[in-house]
Amino acid sequence: MLKLHFAPNSRAGRIVWLLEELGLPYDLNRMDFHPKDLKSDAHRARHPLGRVPVLEDGDVSIYESGAIVEYVLERHKNGGLKPAVDAPEYPAYLQWFHYCEGMVMPPVNTIVVQTLLLPRDRRDETALGQAQRLLTKALAPVDDALAGKDYLIGEFSAADVMLGHACFMANRLGCVPEEMANLKGYVARIAARPAFDKAINM
């Protein structure tokens, strides 16, 4: 049985979403997004930086959400939710799968720190504004790529689990402008998926 160490409003939501989409059974260790849980000795033994998600599968323990997604698809679904290596969609799948952490999540992290995690007297409005502008700029190619498509490569895939979750969070942070109609529609389709709804509301 897979065991997922999880905290709400974190990247761990991607993994709950993936497991629900795939219909895989799992145990959930739900922790508070707070140092008392994440920085505890017990959790630091799972992740040296005290972060989530962490997936345990028998003797295997793995962290980093993208690595977990790839591991689950290869070990438990024979590569499901991704195109074959020789499929024409495969390069775009790889690009959008990794675009999430490379381009979208760094400014999201800064925005969350500057609006939610830091006390008001330590927040930097200049850093916040820069991150908000960078995030909106990083989302423009995603909006373009979604023209005429429901999902990033046409059919729903694990690239949507990675980047779709980040787009949903960016929209919630107010960084998806109304003129990005393709992206707005995409976020709405993501939010309407039952597996996503379950994951985001845990």
Evaluate whether residue 141 is within a structural domain: yes
- Residue 49: which domain range? 2-76
Rounded Cα distance, 196 and 167, in Å: 13
Q: Could you report the per-residue pLDDT of 129-187, keeping only the tens digit for each?
A: 999 999 999 999 999 999 999 999 999 999 999 999 999 999 999 999 999 999 999 99
Does residue 57 sit in the same domain as residue 31? yes
Class of residue 35 by CB neighbours under 10 A (exposed 0-12, middle 13-18, buried 19+): exposed
The CATH number that applies at residue 12 is 3.40.30.10
The pLDDT of residue 173 is 94
The pLDDT of residue 14 is 97
Rounded Cα distance, 143 and 139, in Å: 6
Residue 20 has pLDDT above 90, yes or no: yes
The answer to whether 68 and 53 are in contact (CB under 8 A) is: yes
Predicted TM-score (pTM) of the model is 0.95
Return the beta strands (E) in the chain as ranges: 2-6, 26-30, 54-57, 60-63
Does residue 58 sit in the same domain as residue 96? no
Task: Kindly state the average pLDDT of the residues 105-118.
Answer: 95
The pLDDT of residue 33 is 87
Residue 78 has pLDDT above 90, yes or no: no
Evaluate whether residue 200 is within a structural domain: no
Rounded Cα distance, 151 and 121, in Å: 41
The share of the chain scoring above pLDDT 70, in percent, equals 100
